[in-house]
A and B are shown apart, each in its own frame.
Chain A
């Protein structure tokens, strides 16, 4: 039985190590500092492990992402190609993501920030109209999280549709695909939610060309990765009124630098990468299961295809 390495960039891994041992006392879970023999590392559970380190573990049998995305792992050019990579599949993350997106959509739809602005001079507006039928939510990315978000929006009575790179059929949900499908979906959507994996094909997908197709006064919700968004194009779309607001949880550089213009932009609902905050108990359950599977010679849950990037 090898070592289970736990590494979370910028965060103490101790609570995760404790939870792993609580759920399975036989596990030898350690942080990077406590790894004395690289050859002993069997599984690496990571968020942003410094590039070049994976290749120093000759007996590594699984790279388990602590996130739904694996771009931080695939970005390491020296990652040994023989080691399987798994993303975390945790039902709790889906619920948290659904809540985050629903809050952003309702905040925009019910004009919370505009009403808060009226408050400054104690104004009581009398002609406020909300049109729920005009809320049409287009979800980019129809994986586990994308489908959960689309279903939840339908549950709230909003229309929803989705897009993925390759064709998908999901009962009760209009699914678009490919470049033409993306344009069709953008033209239809008054809310676009990005839940795509970050790959060469999806980098920069949220750009002026896409915003230009959307109806006036729309909402953008980016809960994918910062690299999906062309930041300069977002500011231009907000200035022109094409987009009324943007809920951003992910950024090209995290933490977002103090002097970034997004902080002071009141049209941006800014959150510090918390949309689908991972739950230590339920995510650890998923990790323990994948360690068991790897040791039994089975494929892990959430195994990704490095060629596709997700």
Chain B
């Protein structure tokens, strides 16, 4: 059986070695840099490999991302054309992302920042409470993660809509589809939650023009990819009051540089890319199944279309 290569600056090689060994007895698991003969490698399990890294394995059949996103793979200009590209659709991640999105929605809806400030000022004062049913949440991207977040937020009584390239049918979630319905989606959205994959089409999508189409005082949440947000445009929209605040888990440069204005900005909550982490235990079932399929010559599950890049 060919070997499985593991490369990640973030994830534990030992946890993945154990999880895969439990599911595929005798699996030949090689964690970078202990790869041995590059010709042995048939399956690569990776996160953020350096450009040109993957082309050194001549017998590679599949490249599997350790996260939901595959933009880090397509960013490699020398990416080999042959292997299947696979992303991880981890049920645990969907739940973790829904938790995180709900936290941001509830914190804004229930005026968390204002009450935190009142506590610091020792001030006992109740603020007018907006009705839940009139608070419109918009989920940008209705893939596996977006759909679960939308359903979770809708279950707590919010008016939820989602926008995606193609129309979706999700109970209690209004579906807006395609570029022609994008403006209508933005116009009805008080809390915008970005959960899109990073593709050439979604790069720089959240810019001044988009913010201007949201109702004044809208709240922006992004846990898609940093490359979708034009950070300077967000700062300007926060200054003008067009956008009331933002909770961000992803940034154009991560870790966020020490001198970045977001760190000290009172209207921005900075999260260190922790909205939904990959879990070796729950993700391993799917990786093991794909290793089996790929080495048996079958099509893997959760394959990515290289032309659309998601």
Contacts and interface: CB of A to CB of B under 8 A. Distances in A.
B272 A115 contact: yes
A100 B112 CA distance: 10
Contact of B102 (A102, A132, A279): A102
A124 B110 contact: no
Contacts of B274: 110, 115, 128, 130
Given A119-B270, A255-B124, A102 B152 contact: no
B258 A122 contact: yes
A199 B10 CA distance: 52
Interface of A: 95-96, 98-100, 102-103, 106-107, 109-110, 112, 115-116, 118-119, 122, 124-126, 128-130, 132, 152, 155-157, 254-256, 258, 263-264, 270-274, 277, 279
21 contacts: A95-B132, A99-B106, A99-B156, A102-B156, A106-B106, A110-B274, A112-B103, A118-B272, A119-B270, A122-B263, A126-B10, A126-B272, A128-B274, A132-B95, A155-B152, A254-B124, A264-B122, A272-B126, A273-B126, A274-B129, A277-B126
Interface residues of B, number: 42
Nearest to A157: B95
B95 A103 contact: no
Contact of A95 (B152, B157, B256): B157
Interface string B107-134: 1011010010011001011110101100
Interface string B140-159: 00000000000010011100
A126 to B, nearest CB: 7
Contacts of B107: 103, 107
B231 interface: no
A157 B115 CA distance: 27
A78 to B, nearest CB: 29
Nearest to A125: B272
Interface of B: 10, 92, 95-96, 98-100, 102-103, 106-107, 109-110, 112, 115, 118-119, 122, 124-127, 129, 131-132, 152, 155-157, 254-256, 258-260, 263, 269-272, 274, 277
B271 A115 contact: yes
Contacts of B95: 132, 157
A110 B102 CA distance: 11
Contact of A106 (B92, B102, B115, B127): B102
Given A103-B106, A256-B124, A128 B272 contact: yes
B231 to A, nearest CB: 15
A15 to B, nearest CB: 11
B259 to A, nearest CB: 8
B179 to A, nearest CB: 34
B263 A110 contact: no
B198 to A, nearest CB: 20
B295 to A, nearest CB: 32
Contact of B109 (A99, A107, A155, A277): A99
A119 B263 contact: yes
Contacts of A277: 126, 129
Given A99-B132, A263-B119, A274-B126, A152 B156 contact: yes
A270 B114 CA distance: 12
A36 B270 CA distance: 58
Given A130-B277, A274-B126, A122 B256 contact: yes
Contacts of B115: 270-272, 274
Contacts of B256: 122, 124
A254 B127 CA distance: 16
B110 A103 contact: yes
